[in-house]
Amino acid sequence: MRIEWLNQGSVATPLVSGSATAAGVSRRGFMKAGAVAGGGLVLGFFMPGAGRWANAQQAPAKVYEPNAFLHIAPDNTVTVQVNRLEFGQGVQTSLPMLIAEELDADWSQVRGALAPAGDQYKDPAFGIQITGGSGSIAHSYTQYREIGAKARQMLIAAAAEQWKVPAAQIKTVKGTLIGPAGQKATYGSLADAAMKQPVPATVTLKDPKDFTLIGKPTRRLDARAKSTGKQQFGIDFKAPDSKVAVVARPPVFGAKVAKFDASKAKAIKGVIDVLEVKTDRGGSGVVVIADGYWPAKSARDALVIDWDTSGVDKVSSEKQVAEYKALAQKAGNPVRTADTSKLAGAAKKISAVYEFPYLAHAPMEPLNCVVDLRKDGCTVWAGSQFQTVDQGAIAATAGLKPEQVVLNTMMSGGGFGRRAVPTSDYLVEAVNIAKVWQAAGHKQPIKVIWSREDDIKGGYYRPSHVHRADIGIDAKGEIVAWDHVIVGQSITSGTPFEPMMVKNGVDSTMVEGMGEPYEVPLNLSAHTVKANVPVLWWRSVGSTHTAFVMETLIDEAAHAAKMDPVAYRKKLVGEKGKRHIAALDLAVAKSGYGKKALPKGQAYGVAVHESFNTVIAYVVVASVKNGTPKLHKVTAGVHCNTAVNPLTIEAQIQGAALMGLGMTLSGAAITLKDGVVEQQNFSDYTVARMTDMPVIDVHIVPSNDPPTGMGEPGLPPLAPAFANALFKLTGKRLRKLPFDLASA
């Protein structure tokens, strides 16, 4: 068997000829996949699901050739296939670090490549190929280390055989094997011989005290290409002879084209065809296909379309919020029960209603993909977070089998969840475009590009929510009763994840983060509503709103109890909260809270929250000038267990904190009127910018325990910490995002 990797920017596409028999594949095993690019050691890995979504698997995934995660070339270059999407979070560096650590590779010779869709690249816990749930490092920590360790043992075995010495007497240092008599060989020179060795059934992984790479601040492998403009992203890729497609989508979700006039559009130079096409949620639109983006976009602007909006609900935000508030006054489906009888006789009471709007993901790179549809197969290039789901959806739409679809993973300029859609909306639409394009007599591949306006108006938002809380506090400052109701849409209802995520009519993502780690008598229920607005997970999912509610209410309770908010939190934290206290203590110590006096007009704010098994504590410094809140500094205490790459963690916290700050800024809301989204670009949908960026100091709690997630946990505690600081300055409790001090 011969496998060559065709590199297209960040894409590694396998071209396979010949055949080989899989060897040594088991439910937790490796296989040798043959010589690569003229020789070398290749190892692949498969481990079945073992997490909260693992029961979604009907059977262990089939292992396809090539099943390669690791390629050691004759020149000693080590290429690691990354089974995720790289879209800024740093997995193209951190995952190769894990293999390189156990392999004893020379880091200067390690490269990362994004793997295409394939069963062998499925997340070990989720059972599908996915980048989400902050699971990349957490789920593949052991997986990737074992790949490196087994490859190292095979190289040692090959050297022992060649040198006629015991394997135990051979050492490995930076990609070199060293024998007892001073023999030396590079990994690359013995890679072919190592391929002939049996794959070890088990290996002993390094003790953390012996790590030389894991835990060390390591510069990103893709930093130079990105900073010099050489990195190819999905939107940069163009298949040979491909044409550009731009779609006019219905103004109301699920609406259809009644009729359209394309005469002016077709008169624009470069326009090839104008066709009606199926769009998301049962709707239809009009696609313009041209030689380039600008003629396609200009022609779309020239279209005259009459839309049929009958039969689809038309959501208006003001009416929806009013309905949510009314519903929140009634108990919903129970999630957690506790006695609320002490509310009536409590010495002090807190009654609060919180409002949260729809939010767009708004990544810097809008949605895009390239589709090459043929009778016998389909090749797609896209920045997918959901390769397994997307590959299946593409196949079903094209009338193909999943194995007939090659989905190449492209480097992406952000996503925050928008590229992990259970409906695969933008990819299904693109395949439908390719189908009508071919039906009209054309054969060229199609590149579908969404404009910024398309992206912001195109749906799949963080759902809007309303919370209602009633809390009773006794004369000693103890919380004696807490009745809480949440109202909002489910993001998993109607998707393949519903059986795992929806219990008793409540989407668990809606209520995650409520209560823990505090020992409070929380009586929690929720109402799930339906609305004609497509919704989806958004960076940190339910914690985007639950953390704000929990941490501002705990702060308010501390004030009512006349206690320091840090001391009050530590008092309420139960046995499960040791990591919370460690993160909080670290943030407090490093910030100067309680010891360092702030300038007049500034105040501290505190919040701590756990999401994706990682605890983040923030101590912030804020002020108010001319009625406008300003965040000056953020000190983070991070408990993520083992910090694989501290530089990546620092970057994740900085980015997540800025995104969390963005939720508080005026204009950071998606609103609808008569079913139409009112925002369309960054001119009327606010995102945080460099001018909003505070100083952010990141401090990590030392630990040797297996790592937890880092992509999302830095977002939730930022807004409540900011709000708590603003209360000290203004005396106003903020119950609504984005912030509005004037109406608080």
- Measured CA to CA, the distance from residue 596 to residue 86 in angstroms comes to 40
Query: Residue 47: which of 83, 80, 71, 21 has the closest Cα?
Result: 83
> One-letter amino acid identity for 411?
M
* DSSP conformational letter for 740: -
Please tell me the predicted confidence (pLDDT) of residue 574. Answer: 83
Query: Residue 372: which of 291, 279, 432, 434 has the closest Cα?
Result: 434
Three-state DSSP class for 543?
A: helix
Rounded to 5°, the CA angle 132-137-138 comes to 85
Residue 595: CB atoms within 10 A of its CB come to 8
Residues 246-261: tens digit of each pLDDT: 999 999 999 999 999 9
Distances (CA, A) of 229 to 109, 381, 676: 22, 20, 37
Continuous segment of H or E residues that includes residue 557: helix 543-560
Residues 452-504: tens digit of each pLDDT: 999 999 999 999 999 999 999 999 999 999 999 999 999 999 998 999 999 99
Residues 6+ apart with CB under 8 A from 267: 302
263 by Cβ neighbours in 10 Å (0-12 / 13-18 / 19+) ranks as exposed
Q: Taking 70 as the threshold, does the pLDDT of residue 711 lie above it?
A: yes
Query: Residue 297: which of 321, 324, 268, 322 has the closest Cα?
Result: 268
Q: Residue 463 corresponds to which tokens in the numbers above? A: 């759902």
Which sign does the torsion angle of CA 531, 535, 539, 543 carry? Answer: positive
* DSSP conformational letter for 681: S
Q: Residue 407 corresponds to which tokens in the numbers above? A: 């989905």
Q: Taking 80 as the threshold, does the pLDDT of residue 524 lie above it?
A: yes
Answer whether 638's CB lies under 8 Å from 699's CB: yes
Torsion of CA 416, 418, 421, 423, to 10 degrees: 170
**What domains are defined for the chain?**
66-227 (3.30.365.10), 234-310+367-449 (3.30.365.10), 330-358+461-730 (3.30.365.10)
- Measured CA to CA, the distance from residue 486 to residue 336 in angstroms comes to 12
β pairing state of 2-8 and 35-36: parallel
Please tell me the predicted confidence (pLDDT) of residue 12. Answer: 32
Q: Taking 80 as the threshold, does the pLDDT of residue 39 lie above it?
A: no
Q: Taking 50 as the threshold, does the pLDDT of residue 721 lie above it?
A: yes
Q: DSSP H helical segments within 220-266, as ranges?
A: 223-227, 263-266
Rounded to 5°, the CA angle 71-96-155 comes to 45
Residues 558-582: tens digit of each pLDDT: 999 999 999 999 999 988 899 999 9
Q: Per DSSP, what are the bridge partners of residue 618? A: 607, 636
* DSSP conformational letter for 87: S
Instruction: Sheet with 405-409: list strands edge to edge.
Output: 271-278, 284-290, 243-248, 446-449, 368-374, 377-382, 405-409
Cα R_g (the chain), whole angstroms? 27
Q: Taking 60 as the threshold, does the pLDDT of residue 165 lie above it?
A: yes
Q: Residue 727 corresponds to which tokens in the numbers above? A: 């209360």
Query: Residue 232: which of 447, 411, 381 has the closest Cα?
Result: 411
Residues 6+ apart with CB under 8 A from 228: none
Q: Side-chain half-sphere of 101: how many Cα atoms within 13 Å?
A: 28
Q: DSSP H helical segments within 166-311, as ranges?
A: 187-195, 223-227, 263-266, 293-302
Q: Taking 60 as the threshold, does the pLDDT of residue 715 lie above it?
A: yes
Answer whether 386's CB lies under 8 Å from 130's CB: yes
668 by Cβ neighbours in 10 Å (0-12 / 13-18 / 19+) ranks as buried
User: Which range (34-43, 305-314, 342-351) has the least confidence?
Assistant: 34-43
Q: Residue 453 corresponds to which tokens in the numbers above? A: 């306006």
Please tell me the predicted confidence (pLDDT) of residue 44. Answer: 58
How confident is the prediction for the chain on average, in pLDDT?
Answer: 91
- Measured CA to CA, the distance from residue 45 to residue 69 in angstroms comes to 7
Q: Residue 722 corresponds to which tokens in the numbers above? A: 């900011």
Q: Residue 694 corresponds to which tokens in the numbers above? A: 């505070």
Three-state DSSP class for 660?
A: helix
Answer whether 47's CB lies under 8 Å from 14's CB: no
pLDDT category, 195, cuts 50, 70, 90?
confident
Q: Would the pTM of this model clear 0.75, i.e. be above it?
A: yes
The torsion angles phi and psi of 64, rounded to 5 degrees, stand at -100, 155
User: Which range (44-48, 272-276, 314-318, 663-667) has the least confidence?
Assistant: 44-48
* Greatest Cα-to-Cα distance within the chain, rounded to the nearest angstrom: 84
* DSSP conformational letter for 409: E
Q: What is the per-residue DSSP string for 438-487?
A: HHTT--S-EEEE--HHHHHHS--BBPPEEEEEEEEE-TTS-EEEEEEEEE
Residues 308-331: tens digit of each pLDDT: 999 999 999 999 999 999 999 999
β pairing state of 271-278 and 502-503: unpaired
Answer whether 668's CB lies under 8 Å from 738's CB: yes
